[in-house]
Chains A and B, each alone.
Chain A
Amino acid sequence: MTAEPSALVLVADDNAGIRDTSAAILRAVGYTVTEVPDGQAALEELGQKPFGVALLDVQMPKRDGIAVVEALASSTTTPVIMMLSAYDFDAELRERLDHRVYKYLKKPVPPTVLIDAMCEAAALSRAALA
């Protein structure tokens, strides 16, 4: 459960409790984490920094997680995306986003599951850049 120092992670969730604590756990294991409260801010951050992994909540104000994923479709460099939701990911949504989303995590996500998933996503991101 160690992260490469270069792994830059974006955590986008309108729920401050989840956002802050998830970011804290990820920082504790070595990731550099940027937190944003909505989809619009997430897109802005993604346009400015080369994030390796983006952890996006589905339901967010301004632009939701799905809109963010679809907006990133035209981008040349995209981070590895993991979606987070308190609801089930229905089959239709999976079909729409499957080729762009690495993993779907349902809330509440146990910290160990989060760390393991992040570790795999970061490794994928590094492999893509290499």
Chain B
Amino acid sequence: MSASRPLRPSWLTMSVTLILAVVTLVGFALTERNTNQQEEALLQTNTNQAADFASQSLNAVGTLLSSAAATVTSTNGSPSAFTHAEAGLPLTIATLLVKRTGAAYVVTAASGKGFHPGQVLGGAVLSTVQGARSKLTTGPVTFNGKLSTARFALGGSTVPAGLIVYEQFTLNPFTSVSLTSGKPFEHLRITLYGPGPVTTHNLLISTSSSLPLRGPSARASVAVGSSEWTLVAVARHPFIGGFAKSSPLILLILGLFMALIIGIAIEILARRRHYAEALVEERTRELKATQASLVHQERVSAVGEMATVIGHELRNPLGAAINLLFLARSGLASHDVPEVDDYLNRAEKETIRAASLCEDLTAYMRERESVPVPLDLAAVVAEVLESTPPPDGIEVVTGDLGVVVEADRAQLVQILTNVIINAYQAMPDGGSLRLEGNQSHGIVQITVEDSGAGIDPGNAEHLLDPFYTTKVTGSGLGLAIVKRFTESHEGTVSIDNGPGGGARVTIRLPQPTAKATP
């Protein structure tokens, strides 16, 4: 497979994954918003219930004050009767009977810690009693960092003129009290602030030591007497349930995971498709190449068959023509006409050349399986040199040829004959031809080097092509036959220039596997 896939995901994969991720995020946002709305609604409902409960509890103080006021009225403001009635209260609660004297407010009877008769009131207590009405009046709630104090007063028509009933209680705001230990507070963390702004300074009670409360909160007004207090609450556990609360996040994780899985699946499918397409494309290309090759081979085969038939059929007329020219020359020799004799010589040579071309053509086109047998290279070379002796002026030097080569005998003879004749023709003015053979690494290498002008390196790759020749008289098939026969032995042939500058043909053939036959 030539087609390779980059590591980057496809646009389709990225688009689908992105769309799914966006849909998931939108779903997450909507679900969470809905969940939060439900949670807030439930929290608000619970907070309102808590506020109502707190309101009822705190307004109970009004009942106590009304009772005290009734006692004061029935005893016509008797301090002793008041003290007697209010005796036995916990130390955290103080109850006072206060009388206005001019602009000052003086304690006439006191029950509880921190106050005594005759005491002139000031501060938060003073402001509380100053605002006292016939209805339960709440004064400031103060928190000094340790304890909170809530203040209440009742005056007006509920008591004789000039008198006011006052009550305050002090507590650690972070200590559990009956108000916040039962329903509906069991599901909430709450903080109750007195009248005015929601700050730590007017904190009354809190079920959490860490203020302000964290997380989604709700507020509700607590009506205490004539004033509005504030209750702030957060849920101890989600009212809609832990799973429902987590469901948006679970949905988000699942959605993103699904987007990732779908993206991976799409990418895998896309890559498989891409691979399949590339494979089909490659197979199609191969099939087309094979088809073209088959068509070419068929054409070459037809041409080859025709060339073979023509080559054979021409042998007889060419043979007859050679014979006739020989006879004609024999008959004319006695006439001593040099020009005609020369013409006949040339005609004979040309005819022999035509016959040689037929020989090359049929040799090149012949379809024959190689039948390799172990051969003594030196013996084969000697046989070739005997049938193809060097022309005058050419010396043949044979180097080490003690090699056994496994090859088709006739084809090896033809290979060596063609290469040697080629070398002879490359040295028209004489020279030397060197033949060597050796074997190593499973290859027998035969080198034939001449001392001619050498080859043009630019033509080297074409010299082995059929019908390519740089010679005036060559058929262009000699080296093509060498190449074909060498390749039929699964060997190679190459041509370059040797160290001496002449052409060097190197033939590489498989190593023999058996003993040589002579």
A interface, CB within 8 angstroms of B: 15, 17-18, 20-22, 24-25, 28, 86-88, 91, 107-111
Given contacts A15-B320, A111-B322, 14 further A-B contacts (CB under 8 A): A17-B317, A18-B316, A18-B320, A18-B323, A21-B323, A22-B323, A25-B323, A28-B330, A86-B315, A88-B366, A107-B315, A107-B316, A108-B318, A110-B322
User: B361-396 CB contact bits vs A (8 Å, 1 = yes)?
Assistant: 000001000010000000000000000000000000
- Chain A residues near B366 (CB-CB < 8 A): 88
Question: Which of these, B322, B371, B410, contacts A108 with CB under 8 Å?
Answer: B322
Considering the chains assembled together, what is the distance between the CA atoms of A22 and B327 in angstroms? Answer: 10
Question: Which of these, A18, A25, A87, A91, contacts B326 with CB under 8 Å?
Answer: A25
CB distance from A83 to the nearest CB of B (A): 15
- Chain B residues near A109 (CB-CB < 8 A): 319
B interface, CB within 8 angstroms of A: 312, 315-320, 322-324, 326-327, 330, 352, 355, 366, 371, 410
A107 contacts B327, CB within 8 Å?
no
- Chain B residues near A107 (CB-CB < 8 A): 315-316, 319
B323 contacts A24, CB within 8 Å?
yes
CB distance from B345 to the nearest CB of A (A): 13
Question: Which of these, A24, A87, A88, contacts B327 with CB under 8 Å?
Answer: A24
B326 contacts A17, CB within 8 Å?
no
Considering the chains assembled together, what is the distance between the CA atoms of A107 and B314 in angstroms? Answer: 10
Considering the chains assembled together, what is the distance between the CA atoms of A21 and B317 in angstroms? Answer: 11
CB distance from A1 to the nearest CB of B (A): 11
Residue in chain B with minimal CB distance to A57 = B316
- Chain A residues near B323 (CB-CB < 8 A): 17-18, 21-22, 24-25, 111
Residue in chain A with minimal CB distance to B409 = A91
A17 contacts B316, CB within 8 Å?
yes
Could you say which of A24, A86, A88, A91 has the most chain B C-beta atoms within 10 Å of its C-beta? A86
- Chain A residues near B322 (CB-CB < 8 A): 108, 110-111
CB distance from A70 to the nearest CB of B (A): 24
A108 contacts B327, CB within 8 Å?
no
Considering the chains assembled together, what is the distance between the CA atoms of A20 and B312 in angstroms? Answer: 19
B327 contacts A17, CB within 8 Å?
no
B315 contacts A108, CB within 8 Å?
yes
B327 contacts A18, CB within 8 Å?
no
CB distance from B279 to the nearest CB of A (A): 46
Considering the chains assembled together, what is the distance between the CA atoms of A107 and B354 in angstroms? Answer: 12
Q: Pull 16 A–B residue pairs with CB atoms less than 8 Å apart, ordered by A.
A: A18-B316, A18-B323, A20-B320, A21-B319, A21-B323, A21-B327, A22-B323, A25-B323, A86-B312, A86-B316, A107-B315, A107-B316, A108-B315, A108-B316, A108-B318, A109-B319
CB distance from A86 to the nearest CB of B (A): 4
- Chain A residues near B317 (CB-CB < 8 A): 17
- Chain A residues near B319 (CB-CB < 8 A): 17-18, 21, 107-109
- Chain A residues near B371 (CB-CB < 8 A): 91
Could you say which of B317, B320, B324 has the most chain A C-beta atoms within 10 Å of its C-beta? B320
Could you say which of B319, B371, B410 has the most chain A C-beta atoms within 10 Å of its C-beta? B319
- Chain B residues near A28 (CB-CB < 8 A): 327, 330
- Chain A residues near B330 (CB-CB < 8 A): 28
Considering the chains assembled together, what is the distance between the CA atoms of A110 and B352 in angstroms? Answer: 8
- Chain A residues near B410 (CB-CB < 8 A): 88, 91
Considering the chains assembled together, what is the distance between the CA atoms of A20 and B320 in angstroms? Answer: 8
B326 contacts A111, CB within 8 Å?
yes
Residue in chain A with minimal CB distance to B331 = A28
Considering the chains assembled together, what is the distance between the CA atoms of A112 and B327 in angstroms? Answer: 11
Considering the chains assembled together, what is the distance between the CA atoms of A22 and B319 in angstroms? Answer: 9
CB distance from A73 to the nearest CB of B (A): 27
Which 8 pairs, one residue from A and one from B, show the smallest C-beta to C-beta distance? A17-B320, A108-B319, A21-B323, A111-B326, A86-B315, A15-B316, A107-B315, A108-B355
Residue in chain A with minimal CB distance to B319 = A108
CB distance from A93 to the nearest CB of B (A): 13
Residue in chain B with minimal CB distance to A85 = B315
Residue in chain B with minimal CB distance to A114 = B323
Considering the chains assembled together, what is the distance between the CA atoms of A28 and B331 in angstroms? Answer: 10
Question: Which of these, B312, B320, B355, contacts A87 with CB under 8 Å?
Answer: B312
Considering the chains assembled together, what is the distance between the CA atoms of A91 and B323 in angstroms? Answer: 28
- Chain A residues near B327 (CB-CB < 8 A): 21, 24-25, 28
